[in-house]
Amino acid sequence: MTDKTLSLLAALLCVGLPAIWLRRWSEQRQRFLPPGPKGYPLIGNLFDVPDHHEWETYSKWGEEHGDIVYVKVLGQANVILNSAEAMHHILEKSSAASSDRPKMTLLNDLIGFSWHFAFMPYGERWRQLRRIFHENFNPTAVTSFFPIQRRQRIDLLRRLHRSPHRFVEHFQHYVGATIMEAVYGIKVAAEGDPYIETANVVAEAVTEAGTTTLNLVDSFPIMKYIPAWFPGARFKAKANEWRQYGLMMITKPFERAKRETVEGTAQPSFTSENLEALWSTCSHDDPRVLREEELIRDAGAAAYEAGSGTTAEAMHTFTLAMVLYPDVQRKAQEEIDAVVGPHRLPDFNDRPHLPYLDCIITEIHRWYTVQPLAQQHRASEDIPYRGYIIPKGATITPNVWSVLRDERVYGSDVGTFNPERWLRPGLENAPRGFPSGTFGYGRRVCPGRYMADNSLFIATSSILATYNIKRAVDEKGQEIPVHERFTDGFMIHPQPFRCTIELRSAQAERLIYDDSDIG
């Protein structure tokens, strides 16, 4: 045998044996992947992933394949979780391996949201921002915002009296005004406020950018280099526009609050109090000051963005539910009247005595949760679950819709708005306000949920105490049909509908305009 032949054999062994081993290892590993719809070579399940109402398709896949479903799109592994058990095991018990985020080229690189700790990778900066959030928005800390929420609910009730047909705008103003005052000490304008307008545009950006698992820019990051004028690059033009609003969101209110804090004219707020605490312990030339100020700025902007959309959307859903289920409204009003009486509005300390209303708030989140698909996670290492392996690098999508529509847990009437389900055996001791997954999972659970819950409670209880919400009528006195239809997207809300919002009594009007209740 010649030297040339020996060299050739050696080369074949060096290349062939590892290739054979790699193939067998891949085949062995494939056997432990979760089941899912069969895909095609190279493109995988590209044509299986829906481009609208994904949660409904994922729920059907769960019925066919089980509570975890594996799909691969253009080489990217995706695992969809369809049960509370799977989410608890993978996102809670295995949170050390499932708290990362997938690459978000559109949101972070093009729109410029890399400052937002909800979208950033799991790491040291995320932990620093999370710490600030926990210190300032935990259940005890958020009670400091009660006076602001009381004042803003009065403004909301007055707005509903003056122009009830603009109820969606009023909800947005209520939530935006509450957040701006709590986070920055800024009192917004009565109409056309630029801060609220910025929040609305950014909410639109987040909804559109995170609409579907199949995001071509995220699948092909090289697309971010396509110029905005190139045919088919509408996403780039929109991203450039949204980027400007994101920049305004993170800089404008913080700069104003910082300037007023320096001048001594700032109203107490998250920003002013944290800046004052920082400056009291560090000299202005300390290099740590700039880093800490950036953390305060970024945490405040995240609260500004995250809270502006979700609570207003939940209030929109509440209004639709009251129109479609008048008996629920009547029972809630009877409870409020019995506990609060006719001479004052509900307050936070009334909540333990309003269990039916608490069930309504919980059911709002379950019936049509604002985010049917919780924000995606990324497996930073292999995660075992019931004999399967969720591979390292896989995108994990929690299908909250499937969990909250589980008939084994919530009964066969899951499509009905029924607050009394939360009083049934097995659910009567469930935490009120936070159905499984509505605020995220594990280490990525939304830290602003307590403030959002308080805003929703004080607004809905006060609206029910003073107003009746019912179907509108046309010129002939006929009721205008109202349908149970919701939008599509990362965050959903009812499609436009008409309703009548009218005062329950003259005493209710006096309560709304009684200045003694503002404070």
Give me the pLDDT at residue 213, please.
Answer: 39
Q: Region 324-347: what's the mean pLDDT?
A: 97
Model confidence at 17: pLDDT above 50: no
Collapsed DSSP state (helix, strand, coil) of residue 180? helix
Q: Region 127-138: what's the mean pLDDT?
A: 94
Give me the pLDDT at residue 28, please.
Answer: 44
Where does 264-382 have alpha helices with state H? 270-281, 287-324, 326-340, 355-367
- The letter for the amino acid at 280 is S
Position 16 in a domain: no
Give me the pLDDT at residue 374, please.
Answer: 92
Give CA angle at 139 (355, 84), nearest 5°.
Answer: 70
- Closest Cα to residue 314, out of 454, 121, 177, 114? 454
Give me the pLDDT at residue 496, please.
Answer: 96
The chain-wide mean pLDDT, for the chain, equals: 89
Position 36 in a domain: yes
Q: Which residue has the tokens 């018990």?
A: 93
Q: Region 213-234: what's the mean pLDDT?
A: 70
Bridge partners, residue 70, by sequence:
79
| CB distance 178 to 302 below 8 Å | no
Q: How many domains does the chain have?
A: 1
Collapsed DSSP state (helix, strand, coil) of residue 506? helix
Model confidence at 3: pLDDT above 90: no
* Cα 227 versus chain centre, distance: 31
Q: Write the pLDDT tens digit of every residue in 45-89.
A: 988 988 889 999 999 999 999 999 999 988 899 999 999 999 999
Model confidence at 211: pLDDT above 70: no
- The letter for the amino acid at 339 is V
Give me the pLDDT at residue 515, please.
Answer: 67
Angle between helices 287-324 and 449-466 (to 10 degrees): 40
Residues in the chain: 519
Q: Write the pLDDT tens digit of every residue in 467-506.
A: 999 999 999 889 999 999 999 888 899 999 999 999 999 9
Position 125 in a domain: yes
Spatial separation of the C-alpha atoms in residues 37 and 51, rounded to whole Å: 16
Query: What DSSP designation does 518 have?
Result: -
Position 6 in a domain: no
Q: Region 307-329: what's the mean pLDDT?
A: 93
Position 197 in a domain: yes
Q: Region 275-292: what's the mean pLDDT?
A: 86
Model confidence at 348: pLDDT above 90: yes
Residue-number span of the structural domain to which 336 is assigned: 28-517
pLDDT band at 150 (very low <50, low <70, confident <90, very high): very high
Position 443 in a domain: yes
> What CATH number is given to the structural domain containing 116?
1.10.630.10
DSSP E strands, 238-327: none
Give the max Cα distance, the chain: 108
Position 2 in a domain: no
Position 73 in a domain: yes
